Chain A
Amino acid sequence: MTAPTVASGPHTHAVFNVTRTMVAVMICLTPATVFGFAQFGLPSVLLFAVTVLSALGFEIACLAVTGKPVSRFAMDGSALLTGWLVAMTLPPWAPWWVGVTGSGIAIVIAKHAFGGLGQNLFNPAMVARAMLLVALPVPLTSWVAPVGLAGGPDLMASVAITFGGAPIYDAVSSASVLSTLKSGLDAGTSMADILSQTDSLRSQFVGVMAGSLGETSAMLLLLGGVCLILLGIITVAIPVSMMGTLFGLAALAHVIAPDRFPPPLFHVVSGSAMLCAFFIATDYVTSPVTSKGRLIYGAGIGGLIFVIRSWGSFPEGVAFAVLLMNAATPLIDEYVRPRIFGRTRAGKPLELGEKP
């Protein structure tokens, strides 16, 4: 059914449209991304380029196959952003085909198989990350220490690392904070020893440490996230409830058993938590639409991250936590609705003088 569109107002529109929204998100991601490049050197730049471009390529191919207007939809920025987010979560020196596979999973399976923009149930970047982690555990956990742009491999060596499958030389191979924690706990090391092996909370916050391409700098991600909130692109509900729950549970556990559980700030600044809070969990398509629903959803993710990190078999639980809550989103939206003006929550008209 199509309605006549000009016959009634509004005849003007807010500044933001889909493309501008996507571009604004990318701009807010830029500081953390550039920081990743500076920290992990040219191979990370190459991996990023390959991932993003292949995402765009998959998008165009899918649009063409499904018969959608390629020029309009491919340029909406959503595929670029998906590719970008996939790249952010990869180990920075991963070979090119990891990036391409990740983009392919995200765009083809997680997005277009569900019907394209706005139709997907699961967050494409997290589907890619989870599938890669299960299917390719080795390249997905081969971390490198920060080498710096200048101190890193030159162009030829970088090409060899990203495209030639050159092994990561041991000198720079490193473990991420969360995997250090996990293996330490599994080996029965005391918490104090583990914490002395990992970077200080301050350098974790700034981001000078081994980790995924764009996830290390909690500080810059926080900065980008605050910008998104100020621009009105996301609301505070999800970041606050997610971080609040993660922090709260971690604090409780740390108070009860300081020897088994790291301090709460550790959870907040390490791994993908910060990226997730502002850029992943807030994905429009796969999160609830009401503020209350978002609080529930964010709390669910925060709680699941803590549970998976503490008791799961993977050191990091963000991807699984997000996917599980994605599955709950339709349910949340069905039951958590705004109250209609002049009606009770149950939908009955208010009685005169009744307080809703």
Chain B
Amino acid sequence: MNLSSIAAFLNPVNLFSIRGGIHPETRKFLTAESAIEEMPLPKLLRIPLQQHIGAEAAALVKRGDRVLKGQLIGKARGPVSANIHSPTSGTVVAVGEFAAPHPSGLPVPTVTIRTDGLDEWGPRLPRLRPETASPAEIAAQVAEAGIVGMGGATFPSAIKLNLRDRYPLTTLIINAAECEPYLTCDDRLIREHAEEVADGAAIIAKALGVDEIIFAIESNKPQAAAAIAPFNHPLGLRLQVKVVPTQYPMGSEKHLVQMVTGKETPARALTAELGVVVHNAATAHAVHLAVRYGEPLISRLLTVSGRAISRPANLRVRIGTPVLDIINHCGGLTEDPERLLLGGPMMGQPIATQRVPIVKGTNGILALSASEARKEDMMPCIRCGTCVQACPCGLTPFEMNARIQSGDLDGAARVGLMDCVNCGCCSYVCPSNIPLVQGFAFARGKLAEKQSRKHQQEETKRLAAARIAREEAIAEKKRAAMAKRKAEMAAKKAAEAAAAQEAAK
């Protein structure tokens, strides 16, 4: 029996299907057989205080402070935010602004730590026994550990764990699709640490109060599917492996839910409304470490790949390690890359300089050669409809693009601009190399701006109207008071006059 037939055997349950999607060359072979290695500590760590969706964390350290591994250095601020911990021991050499790991490269608040090589642990979080811990305790521990969605979304995980309060949940799906080409770090993680990942999944399930766990893996990772399969009763819950087709964007949350459960999430709703919550496999592993060992999220796995990298690898890297150090660890670049990216080739973000650090959501560093990027001149749209066939959301990208190009943003929104998930399938297949999704992201930004401006104007108008009404009310009151006084005065006068008359009589 070969591995893929084992994978099919593991998956006796019927699957559903999703619309569209593409089958890019996965090029996972570059790193699929590279076992996880520990990246040595770099000299400097640059830790941005915002590595998640939501408000940036507040710095708790200042220049010159000595910090220990695992020490809280940034505290979550507000309801949507995440804690940040020191990845190793060392000295804070700066708390200031540094280039963000983002195409803009704009400076963001960053704590820079000079590592001392001792890697000395500070006090860890108290360990929890998931068997007996309450959901609220687990969620609090996950929040304390600063865990965010590690598939790249970086939404603070604890908030997703608290969804049980608001929705009747039934199912946890662990997203191990890893549908982005090149990336193999989730694959390796599951192959090498299957039991821990399964345990982490079960802990999440406990916190959510669900007893069904579905582990969704793409069919091109039969070893990972086989590795996780024996751990089918973590913490006494039922864990079921479902092998889903290798098809991008299988890892898109709503599409994965549709693939696995057949349920389609309504537009603008959460999958939780269907009773389903999706967490990433790497997040499950981080939850395992946080709950069982009290370790905060201070390192992560990532894939370093692309033809321009000398030695593609899967590494465990401390958060804040500069990209340059990682590339050097992998033997440096073999050529000037056409694209240097954080993340996968479909949705990853190019970086301006190699000095930027990796963050909690970075699942890959790719240096793509020109032959991989296939950058070509743009041609006019030939209405081939390939983008329409490829769009997993049922949109008409060529039409949205035409409307955006002619300045008709509202028209583009009418044909579905706001339902686009930014997967990039349309741009990938377009024979005319039209930057479709790139334009959509831009147009959505514009539209949001316009709407917020409109909203602002309306708000101003409303406020102004309210003020006028208030002023009028006050004036009215004054007038009324005046009139009353006048009436009183008149009455008084009349009474006085009457009294005087009386007296005169």
B-contact bits for A232-259, CB 8 A (1 contact / 0 none): 0001000000000000000000000000
- Tell me if A65 is interfacial: C-beta within 8 Å of chain B: no
Whether A341 contacts B419 in the complex (CB less than 8 A), given A14-B428, A18-B431, A72-B377, comes out as yes
Closest A residue to B341 by beta carbon equals A11
- Tell me if A3 is interfacial: C-beta within 8 Å of chain B: yes
Rounded to whole angstroms, the CA-CA distance of A15 and B22 in the bound complex is: 12
Q: Which of A18, A337, A341, A343 has the most CB of B within 10 A?
A: A341
- Tell me if A339 is interfacial: C-beta within 8 Å of chain B: yes
Evaluate contact between A284 and B383: CB separation under 8 angstroms.
Answer: yes
Rounded to whole angstroms, the CA-CA distance of A76 and B431 in the bound complex is: 11
B-contact bits for A76-89, CB 8 A (1 contact / 0 none): 10100000000000
- Tell me if B395 is interfacial: C-beta within 8 Å of chain A: yes
A337 to chain B: which residues have CB within 8 Å? Answer: 394, 396, 415
Q: Which residues in chain B, 336-385, are within 8 Å of chain A measured between CB atoms?
A: 339, 341, 343-350, 366, 368, 372-377, 379-385
- Min CB gap A245→B, angstroms: 20
Set A11, A73, A342, A356: member contacting B350, Cβ < 8 A: A11
Evaluate contact between A14 and B22: CB separation under 8 angstroms.
Answer: yes
B-contact bits for A108-134, CB 8 A (1 contact / 0 none): 000000001111000000000000000
- Tell me if B411 is interfacial: C-beta within 8 Å of chain A: no
CB < 8 Å A-B pair total: 180
A341 to chain B: which residues have CB within 8 Å? Answer: 19, 254-255, 264, 267, 392-394, 419
Whether A10 contacts B273 in the complex (CB less than 8 A), given A284-B385, A289-B388, A340-B395, comes out as no
- Min CB gap A347→B, angstroms: 8
Rounded to whole angstroms, the CA-CA distance of A284 and B382 in the bound complex is: 6
- Min CB gap A255→B, angstroms: 36
Evaluate contact between B388 and A338: CB separation under 8 angstroms.
Answer: yes
Number of interface residues of B (CB under 8 A): 72
Evaluate contact between B419 and A13: CB separation under 8 angstroms.
Answer: no
B350 to chain A: which residues have CB within 8 Å? Answer: 6-7, 11
- Tell me if A171 is interfacial: C-beta within 8 Å of chain B: no
A291 to chain B: which residues have CB within 8 Å? Answer: 389
Rounded to whole angstroms, the CA-CA distance of A204 and B439 in the bound complex is: 51
Rounded to whole angstroms, the CA-CA distance of A284 and B268 in the bound complex is: 33
Closest B residue to A329 by beta carbon equals B383
- Tell me if B405 is interfacial: C-beta within 8 Å of chain A: yes
Whether A1 contacts B419 in the complex (CB less than 8 A), given A14-B24, A284-B385, A285-B382, comes out as no
Evaluate contact between A12 and B345: CB separation under 8 angstroms.
Answer: yes
Set B339, B383, B396: member contacting A11, Cβ < 8 A: B339
A18-B382, A118-B383, A285-B383 are known; give 20 further A-B pairs, CB within 8 A: A1-B405, A3-B438, A6-B103, A6-B350, A7-B104, A9-B345, A10-B347, A10-B424, A10-B427, A12-B24, A12-B372, A12-B373, A13-B376, A14-B374, A16-B431, A340-B394, A343-B267, A343-B419, A350-B264, A350-B266
Q: Which of A11, A72, A286 has the most CB of B within 10 A?
A: A11
A-contact bits for B257-279, CB 8 A (1 contact / 0 none): 00000011111110001100000
B437 to chain A: which residues have CB within 8 Å? Answer: 8-10
- Tell me if A5 is interfacial: C-beta within 8 Å of chain B: yes
Rounded to whole angstroms, the CA-CA distance of A6 and B339 in the bound complex is: 9
Q: Could you tell me the dominant secondary structure of chain A's interface residues?
A: loop
B-contact bits for A266-290, CB 8 A (1 contact / 0 none): 0000000000000000001110111
Q: Which residues in chain B, 435-465, are within 8 Å of chain A measured between CB atoms?
A: 435, 437-439, 441-443
Evaluate contact between B428 and A10: CB separation under 8 angstroms.
Answer: yes
- Tell me if A4 is interfacial: C-beta within 8 Å of chain B: yes
Evaluate contact between A17 and B431: CB separation under 8 angstroms.
Answer: yes
Evaluate contact between B341 and A13: CB separation under 8 angstroms.
Answer: no
- Tell me if B416 is interfacial: C-beta within 8 Å of chain A: yes
Evaluate contact between B419 and A342: CB separation under 8 angstroms.
Answer: yes
- Tell me if A162 is interfacial: C-beta within 8 Å of chain B: no
Evaluate contact between B266 and A342: CB separation under 8 angstroms.
Answer: yes
Whether A11 contacts B348 in the complex (CB less than 8 A), given A352-B274, A356-B264, comes out as yes
B-contact bits for A327-355, CB 8 A (1 contact / 0 none): 00000000001111111000001111110
Rounded to whole angstroms, the CA-CA distance of A10 and B419 in the bound complex is: 18
A176 to chain B: which residues have CB within 8 Å? Answer: none
Evaluate contact between B265 and A342: CB separation under 8 angstroms.
Answer: yes
A-contact bits for B122-163, CB 8 A (1 contact / 0 none): 000000000000000000000000000000000000000000
Evaluate contact between B382 and A117: CB separation under 8 angstroms.
Answer: yes
A78 to chain B: which residues have CB within 8 Å? Answer: 382
A343 to chain B: which residues have CB within 8 Å? Answer: 266-267, 419
> What 7 A-B pairs come out closest when comparing CB atoms?
A289-B385, A342-B267, A3-B442, A10-B424, A284-B384, A338-B394, A350-B266
Q: Which of A7, A9, A73, A78 has the most CB of B within 10 A?
A: A9
B394 to chain A: which residues have CB within 8 Å? Answer: 337-341
Binding site for A on B (CB under 8 A): 19, 22, 24, 103-104, 181, 254-255, 263-269, 273-274, 339, 341, 343-350, 366, 368, 372-377, 379-385, 388-389, 391-396, 398, 404-405, 407, 415-416, 419, 422, 424, 427-429, 431-433, 435, 437-439, 441-443
Evaluate contact between A349 and B266: CB separation under 8 angstroms.
Answer: yes
Rounded to whole angstroms, the CA-CA distance of A21 and B431 in the bound complex is: 8
A119 to chain B: which residues have CB within 8 Å? Answer: 380
Set B263, B368, B432, B442: member contacting A12, Cβ < 8 A: B368
A73 to chain B: which residues have CB within 8 Å? Answer: 379
Evaluate contact between B391 and A338: CB separation under 8 angstroms.
Answer: yes
Rounded to whole angstroms, the CA-CA distance of A1 and B440 in the bound complex is: 12
B-contact bits for A33-72, CB 8 A (1 contact / 0 none): 0000000000000000000000000000000000000001
Rounded to whole angstroms, the CA-CA distance of A21 and B385 in the bound complex is: 13
Closest B residue to A69 by beta carbon equals B377
Whether A350 contacts B267 in the complex (CB less than 8 A), given A10-B347, A11-B339, A285-B382, comes out as yes
Q: Which of A14, A337, A351, A356 has the most CB of B within 10 A?
A: A14
Rounded to whole angstroms, the CA-CA distance of A3 and B388 in the bound complex is: 21
Q: Which residues in chain A, 276-331, are within 8 Å of chain B measured between CB atoms?
A: 284-286, 288-291
Evaluate contact between A118 and B264: CB separation under 8 angstroms.
Answer: no
Whether A7 contacts B438 in the complex (CB less than 8 A), given A12-B181, A337-B396, A351-B266, comes out as yes
Whether A9 contacts B348 in the complex (CB less than 8 A), given A17-B433, A350-B264, comes out as yes
A20 to chain B: which residues have CB within 8 Å? Answer: 431
B344 to chain A: which residues have CB within 8 Å? Answer: 9
Whether A9 contacts B347 in the complex (CB less than 8 A), given A18-B432, A340-B267, A341-B392, comes out as yes
Rounded to whole angstroms, the CA-CA distance of A284 and B429 in the bound complex is: 14
Whether A11 contacts B345 in the complex (CB less than 8 A), given A284-B384, A284-B385, comes out as yes
A338 to chain B: which residues have CB within 8 Å? Answer: 19, 388, 391, 394-396
A11 to chain B: which residues have CB within 8 Å? Answer: 339, 341, 345-346, 348, 350, 366, 368, 373
Evaluate contact between B266 and A352: CB separation under 8 angstroms.
Answer: yes
- Supply 29 A–B pairs (Cβ within 8 Å), ascending by A: A1-B405, A3-B435, A3-B438, A3-B439, A3-B443, A8-B438, A8-B441, A9-B344, A9-B437, A11-B366, A11-B368, A12-B345, A14-B22, A15-B374, A16-B431, A17-B376, A17-B432, A72-B377, A289-B388, A337-B394, A337-B415, A338-B394, A340-B394, A341-B394, A342-B265, A343-B266, A343-B267, A349-B267, A349-B269
B388 to chain A: which residues have CB within 8 Å? Answer: 289-290, 338
Closest A residue to B381 by beta carbon equals A118
Whether A118 contacts B382 in the complex (CB less than 8 A), given A7-B438, A11-B368, comes out as yes
Set B19, B263, B346, B407: member contacting A9, Cβ < 8 A: B346
